[in-house]
Amino acid sequence: MTDAMGIFDIMLALVLPWLGWRLLASPNLFRAVVLFISLGLLMSLAWVRLHAPDVALAEAAIGAGLTGALFLSALRRLERLRDSERRLDYAEKREEEQNLPPEKRRKSKPVAYVLALFLLSVFLLLLGGALLKTPVAPGRLGPAVAGQMGQSGVQSRVTAVLLNFRGYDTLLEVMVLFLAALGVWSLTRVRQTPQEKVPGPVLATLVRLLVPLMITVAGYLVWIGSSRAGGAFQGGAVLAAAGVLLLLANVTVVRQIPSTLLRWALVLGPLLFLLSAVACMSIGGNLLEYPRQSAGSWILLIESATAVSIGVTLAALYAGGRPHEPAAREAIVDKSADTKVKNGEGA
């Protein structure tokens, strides 16, 4: 049995870089993205082999699934843009060129490139050699975590590290996600999906069947996260997948979510996390120092809110832009500013 697993490990360890190479060398961007998704799935197999089930879940859902969906939708958007600009003939030649892999495009290899490649490979060889020579420090923080597990309020060690011992990291991490949503919203508006594009009966049934199930699974993952693999990130990813499915099926309800509600859903997790971090101080502890008896409930509360926000945020990232807000508000602000300036000029 162990031999078989050993062979499996060797194959997987070889296939991962090979796929990586193939996907970057592939002339077709669509194929590259598909290879990227399959690489993500194989990565999650590797995580399972390395006894990292939490990471495996997150990788399969976020690293492969949602990132892949983001890439595919970006690709579609790029192609649509390109199609609309086909008439610009000077661009066309470039397009042909950019679909070629870099190796074929630049036949001549300048000396600087070869030199850089050489230096890089020397560095990597050194790195590899150093990795081989240096043993992993024994134990690291593992024993420290194990020693304090009794006070963490949860049974799963990864969750304990994420939400308790290093909860501040996770707080900032949730802010990164919030920032990404802010960034995407600040850059562009969501693309209008044509009204008449209705999903087929199969997709509609699938949505009706899967979305409630996915929400249940997300809740389960958050719940089980306190004792086993799972947690806010994984649960949020499943919620996000449900959101992406709804967006794909172009369900009317999703399009009509009021923007205020969406904004509150986006910040629910970050806000609650932040407020409970501060609340811990007001009870007399440090920042994020949960009361020892009720730490489990605090963590569950934070995780649930965070999972909702992560789900909404990731789905919003997939939607790829700020929603069409009631134009009135922006217009009013603009107008008042304009009149102010005019008055100022007049005076």
Partner 1 sequence: MAFLHNLGTICILIGIPFFVSGTIGLLRFPDIYTRLHALTKADNVGLGFVVLGLALQAEQWNTVARLLLIWLLVLVASSASCHLVARAALRKKIQPWSRS
Partner 2 sequence: MPDTPFWAVCLVVVPLFFAIICFVRSSLVTFLGPLAAWLNALAGLGMTLSFVHSGPLRYAIGGWQAPLGINFSIDGLSVLLVAMTAVTGLSVSMYAKGYFSLRIGSAGEINRHGHQRAYFWPVWLLLWAALNGLFLSADLFNIYVTLEIIGLAAVVLTALSGKPAARLAAMRYLLVSLLGSCCYLFGVALLYRSYGILDMTALSRLVSPAPLLWVSLALLTTGLLLKTALFPLHFWLPPAHANALAPVSAILSGLVVKASFYLILRLWGEVFAQVLPFAAYVLLGVLGCGAVLWGAVQALLQKRLKMLIAYSTVAQLGYLFIALPLIRLDPGPSAREAVILLIMAHACAKSAMFMAAGSIFLKAGHDRIDDLDGIKEVLPVSSFAFVLAGVSLMGFPPSGGFLGKWLLLGVSLASGQWWWGIMLVIGSLLAAGYVYRIACHLLVFKASFSSRRGSIPPVMEWPAVLLAVLAMILGLLAGYPLGLLEAGCPVPIHACLEVMP
Partner 3 sequence: MSTIFLYNFSGLALFAIGLHGLIRSSHLLRKILAANLMSSGIFLIMIVGAYGPDQALIDPVPHAMVLTGILVSISTTAVALVLVCLVQETTNRALLLQKRKREQRGRTDA
Which residues contact partner 1 (rule: CB under 8 A)?
200, 202-203, 206, 209-210, 213
CA distance 42 to 38: 6
Q: How far is the CB of 202 from partner 1 (least distance, A)?
A: 5
CB of 151 to partner 2, least distance (A): 9
- Measure the CA–CA gap between 52 and 46, rounded to whole angstroms: 9
What residues from 190 to 209 belong to the interface with partner 2 (CB under 8 A)? none
Q: For residues 301-327, b (16+ Cβ closer than 10 Å) or e, as one string?
A: ebbbbbbbbbbbbbbbbbbbebeeeee
Number of residues that bind partner 2 (CB under 8 A): 64
Q: Provide the Cα torsion 100, 103, 107, 111; round to 10°.
A: 140
Which of these, 311, 298, 184, lies nearest to 235 by C-alpha position?
A: 311
Please list, in sequence order, all residues whose beta carbon lies within 8 angstroms of the beta carbon of residue 244, skipping any fewer than 6 positions away. 66, 69, 314, 315, 318
Q: What distance in Å separates the CA atoms of residue 44 and residue 53, rounded to the nearest whole number?
A: 8
Collapsing DSSP to helix, strand or coil, 192 comes out as coil
Of partner 1, partner 2, partner 3, none, which one sits near residue 215, judging by CB under 5 to 8 A according to partner kind? none
| One-letter amino acid for residue 30 of the chain | F
- Report how far residue 167's alpha carbon sits from residue 161's, in angstroms, rounded to the nearest whole number: 7
Residues 304-343 that bind partner 2 (CB under 8 A): 322, 329-331, 333-334, 337-338, 340-341
Please compute, for residue 63, the number of CA atoms within 13 A of its CA located in the half-sphere on the CB side.
18
Select 8 or 168, whichever has its Cβ closest to partner 2: 168
Taking alpha carbons only, the member of 210, 237, 310 closest to residue 59 is 237
Query: What backbone phi and psi angles, to 5 degrees, belong to 322?
Result: -75, 145
Binding residue for partner 2 (CB under 8 A) from 154, 244, 266, 305? 266
- Tell me which stretch binds partner 2 (CB under 8 A): 108-116, 191-199, 211-219, 266-274: 266-274
Instruction: Choose among partner 3, partner 2, partner 1, none what residue 98 binds, the Cβ cut-off being 5 to 8 Å by kind.
Output: partner 3
- Non-local (6+) Cβ contacts of 334 within 8 A are none
Residue 154 beta carbon to partner 1: minimum distance, rounded to whole angstroms? 21
Which of residues 213 and 287 has its CB atom nearest to partner 1 in the complex?
Answer: 213
Nearer to partner 2, 251 or 262 (CB): 262
Residue number with CB closer to partner 2 (201 or 346): 346
**Residue owning tokens 């002339």:** 27
- The verdict on 51 binding partner 2 (CB under 8 A) reads no
Q: Which does 209 bind (CB under 5 to 8 A by kind): partner 2, partner 1, partner 3, none?
A: partner 1
Binding-site string for partner 2 from residue 218 to residue 257, where x marks contact by CB under 8 A and - marks none: ----------------------------------------
Closest CB to partner 2 among residues 38, 259: 259
Q: Cα 333–336–340 angle (5° rounding)?
A: 140
Q: What are the percentages of helix, strand and coil residues in the chain, rounded to 5? A: 80, 0, 20
Q: Which residue, 181 or 242, is less far from partner 1 as judged by CB? A: 242
In the window 148-177, what residues touch partner 2 (CB under 8 A)? 148, 164-169, 172-173, 175-176
Min CB(101)–partner 2 separation in Å: 19
Chosen from partner 1, partner 2, partner 3, none, partner binding at 272 (C-beta under 5 to 8 Å by type): none
Partner interacting with residue 108 (select from partner 2, partner 3, partner 1, none; CB below 5-8 Å by kind): none
Q: Which is nearer to partner 1, 209 or 278 (CB)?
A: 209
Answer yes or no whether residue 137 interacts with partner 2 by CB under 8 A.
yes
Least gap, CB of 263 to partner 3 (angstroms): 17
DSSP secondary structure string, 307-330? HHHHHHHHHHHHHTSB----HHHH
d(CA 71, CA 55): 21
